[in-house]
Chains A and B, each alone.
Chain A
Amino acid sequence: MINPALFSWRFLNVWKRNLVVYKKIWKVNFLTPLFEPLFYILAFGLGFSGLIRKVHYDGVELSYTGFIAPALIATAVMWNAFFETTYASFVRMYFQKTFDGMLATPLSLEEIIIAEIAWSATKSAGAATIMLLVLGLMGFIHFPMGLLLIPMAFFGGLAFGAIGMFFTGITPTIDMFNLPIFLFITPMFLFSGTFFPVSNLPAWAQPVALAFPLYHLAELARLFSIGTCEVSPLISIGYLTVFIIFFTFLALIAMRKRLIQ
């Protein structure tokens, strides 16, 4: 079903196209990852600090802001990559017919899709880098290990970019992205050990949370930020690797079915 001749390094030319566009608007894009962690830390740090003293996590006592700070990077990775391969890719594919133009060149559809996913991961890594600076300055991240959050963000971005691209392949209209966001992304955002430990959930709900890719990314983010995690990082990395391969494959099939007729 997937022909290896359709893959080559040419995908980087599409990746570069997105970079050229991004360079034009980077000043605006730069602000979100800069202020987002500030807002969260302020809101939860000031607002919740009276309600929640300490969070018990992996046998360690963490301040509430110390608990959520690494997870904020993981959630930013998710939002950035998922939005890029859903709304942004859909606009390029459907409204701007950018892919149609590209398909009249030696590029294959597979290379375009891989490039879109790789680009979404790049955006995630960029956002994570800026957040790393902000949260690092506030003392929430330990260096030099914290620098591993940047490749981790790219890796996590591939996972959310791939599943986003899959939704783009099967979603008839752009409004219908509300569905995966409401049913998949939002619950994941709230229940993946991001704002409270998964151990606080009722027993039946815990395995569900453990199946969320964001849970594993938040785990890795905590490991690289403060050196603690509940689950072995090998499991998290393994889970995300399988997730990336599986959804990239599905995305390629869905997009080929959608565009090549």
Chain B
Amino acid sequence: MNKIIEIQNLVKQFNGVNAVNGLSFSVEKGEFFGLLGPNGAGKTTTIRMLYGYSPPTSGMLRVFGMDISTDSRKIKSRIGVCQQDNTLDPDLSVEQNLLVFAGYFSIPKKEAVERSEELLDFFALSHKKDAKVMELSGGMVRRLILARSLINRPELLILDEPTTGLDPQSRHQVWEKLGELKKSGLTVVITTHYMEEATQLCDRLVIVDHGNILVDGSPERLIEQYAGRHIVEIEGPDQDLIEYLKNHDVEYDDLGKRLILYDPERKGMNSAIRSQYCNEKCIYRNSTLEDVFLRLTGRELRE
């Protein structure tokens, strides 16, 4: 049993509109799996179906080999969920949040105390044990939600935008902790808007849009395949350059005031472009997952 999650032709409708449109993917044991996509692509809907919050309209969704619609309680007892919203209990202290949550899993009190001490220590929150949740900084809130999602020693961790709204320091701290969890062999599913985060953490990812999967692969492979190794950005391009690119079959995106050239070096044209067409400002840089993402999902605003 190596497949932790199996999804086939998963559909979710809201008022007759498909938010998730026949999605199929699977996640292996020990994988750090990314679910990326623009706003409204169906990520959170998918995640919510994964942890039994939202019942699928049709299709197959199996976690640990069990069907979510019949065994959701068994499944939920073995997964940890870090929701997008802050769902910490503001009426309780930091430690009580963990202990009461352990109660929801029917974990005995003594064991709950031990585990919450361990988790508070791991997430550097021991000193805030008795603090009110309202007094915590954004980074601490996130770490506490993460700690809480691990209280039942889950075999699968589901993270819905775990670092949205955090300052760089806090974000890196969360990444470091997630990296440690990954090393321990935990299976993780993550959604995020930060491509850097996905690149750093994910073994494999899919990019979804309009409820469908666009691509599936490791971040490195996707970058190589869809954006090449290097990118040249040219501001204020002239018509000659566009002609030149067309003639030499270089892939590019035309953003009006800016051109994005995908891997002109592959065709050995870097120096030609550099010497002839760099009028205002040129940027030579490595390709990133963000280039892949924008290329595949487009640049127009979604909301």
Contact = CB atoms under 8 A, between A and B. Distances in A.
Interface string A85-114: 000000000001110111111111000000
Contact of A101 (B54, B55, B77, B101): B101
Given A106-B73, A260-B54, A261-B54, A101 B103 contact: no
Contact of A98 (B54, B76, B89, B106): B89
Nearest to A5: B73
Nearest to A108: B73
Contacts of A107: 104
Nearest to A101: B87
Q: Quick one: which of A21, A102, A104 has the most chain B CB within 10 A?
A: A104
A16 B86 contact: no
A14 interface: yes
Interface in A41-80: none
Q: Quick one: which of B91, B96, B105, B149 has the most chain A CB within 10 A?
A: B91
* Interface residues of chain B: helix, strand, loop or mixed (majority): loop
B90 interface: yes
A17 interface: yes
A257 interface: no
A98 B87 contact: yes
A203 interface: no
Contacts of A17: 89, 92, 100, 103-104
Interface residues of A, number: 23
B205 interface: no
B83 interface: yes
A98 B87 CA distance: 6
Contact of A100 (B83, B91, B103): B83
Interface string B70-91: 0001101100010101111111
B14 A102 contact: no
A24 B14 CA distance: 41
Interface in B42-59: 51-55
A54 to B, nearest CB: 48
A24 B93 CA distance: 10
Contacts of B77: 105-106
B135 to A, nearest CB: 15
Given A14-B104, A21-B92, A100 B73 contact: no
A64 to B, nearest CB: 41
Given A98-B87, A260-B53, A105 B100 contact: no
B275 to A, nearest CB: 58
Contacts of B83: 97, 100-101, 104
Interface of B: 14, 51-55, 73-74, 76-77, 81, 83, 85-92, 96, 100-101, 103-106, 149, 152
16 contacts: A5-B73, A17-B103, A17-B104, A20-B92, A96-B89, A98-B91, A100-B83, A101-B83, A101-B88, A101-B89, A103-B52, A104-B51, A104-B53, A105-B77, A260-B53, A261-B14
